[in-house]
Chain A
Amino acid sequence: MANRTLELRSAVPELSRNSRIGRQDGPARLVVSEMTGLSVVSIAARKGQSGSLQGAVKKLFKIELPNTPRRVEAGGVAFLWAGPDQWIAITDMAVHPDFDRELVAKLGKFASFTDQGDARTLIRVSGPASREVIATGVPLDLHPRAFQPDDVALTHASHIAVTIWQIDEEPTFVFAVARGFARSFWHWLSDSGSVHGIEVSPGT
């Protein structure tokens, strides 16, 4: 049988090429790009094994798994809180191509690991208008006094379930959206942001 490989294809084709959307004069006040080339794995601790999992992760990654909505990162692997006894791990696909299997081999006793690499679309949003645009669809206070780098929230954006986290003070936010909803999410984001001018740069 022929050896077939599946082609990686974005759920949001509009994010795969450079473009300027909406207001054309002046610098774009919203910058959007899809984050690609990442391994994304969801983690759910087995019943009563959360403590053992956290101990094993600490040994392996030199990291404390967060028990509050936070993101921690060490050695190129980020762990995000994703609900009680649940997390999402994100890392470079080139370094960890089979990250779920890697985690199962090392930590399978304590938790279940599910590859989400083709199930979630990660969209990075930055620029001076980012808070204002996000506020049109996300019912959370993202003011720096309430939401800071490495804070994580599970919520919805324009009625679409998302995980949102902040990665720097510029500010830069990342949304993880179910792949099937990613284009609806983009529809909302591009409509809400066009008044400010959106710069789309292809994924990194």
Chain B
Amino acid sequence: MRITCPHCGNRSLDEFIYLGDATVQRPDPARPDALAAFVDYVYQRENPVGRHRELWYHNAGCHAWLVVTRDVRTHEIFGVEPAKEVSLSEKTTGAAR
């Protein structure tokens, strides 16, 4: 598998480290059900088939966190975005959460 880093270009898998699900959102600690929400946030993960959004770290390259949209069955990659931009746009649009 190869990942096209938006900064460095097309690179081999051995330059990257996999973190996991990019769709989870850190809950607001002030929420009344914060404890349960954090248990879900930390421990509960879906195990989807097909297209998934994941966090990858370009460890042996530009050290950027990336959000990779990938088919976990075929390894086909549909998009790679800098996690910083994803996070900023979620903040400005107030998406998810």
Partner-B contacts on A (CB < 8 A)? 68-69, 82-84, 139, 153-156, 161
Residue of B nearest to A153 (CB): B8
B82 within 8 A of A: yes
Are A155 and B60 touching (Cβ within 8 A)? yes
Are A139 and B64 touching (Cβ within 8 A)? no
Within the complex, the shortest CB–CB distance from B83 to chain A, in Å, comes to 11
A147–B86 alpha-carbon span in the complex (Å): 30
Are B63 and A83 touching (Cβ within 8 A)? yes
Q: Which residues of B contact A69 (CB under 8 A)?
A: 7-9
Are A154 and B12 touching (Cβ within 8 A)? no
A41–B18 alpha-carbon span in the complex (Å): 30
Within the complex, the shortest CB–CB distance from B67 to chain A, in Å, comes to 14
Query: Contacts A82-B62, A139-B15 given; 13 further ones with Cβ under 8 A?
Result: A68-B7, A69-B7, A69-B8, A69-B9, A83-B7, A83-B62, A83-B63, A84-B62, A139-B14, A155-B8, A155-B11, A156-B15, A156-B60
Are A161 and B7 touching (Cβ within 8 A)? no
A82–B63 alpha-carbon span in the complex (Å): 9
B50 within 8 A of A: no
**Chain A proximity mask over B15-58: 1 for CB below 8 Å, otherwise 0:** 10000000000000000000000000000000000000000000
A139–B15 alpha-carbon span in the complex (Å): 9
12 contacts between A and B (CB under 8 A): A83-B62, A83-B64, A84-B84, A139-B12, A139-B14, A154-B61, A154-B62, A155-B8, A155-B11, A155-B61, A156-B14, A156-B15
Q: Which residues of B contact A82 (CB under 8 A)?
A: 62
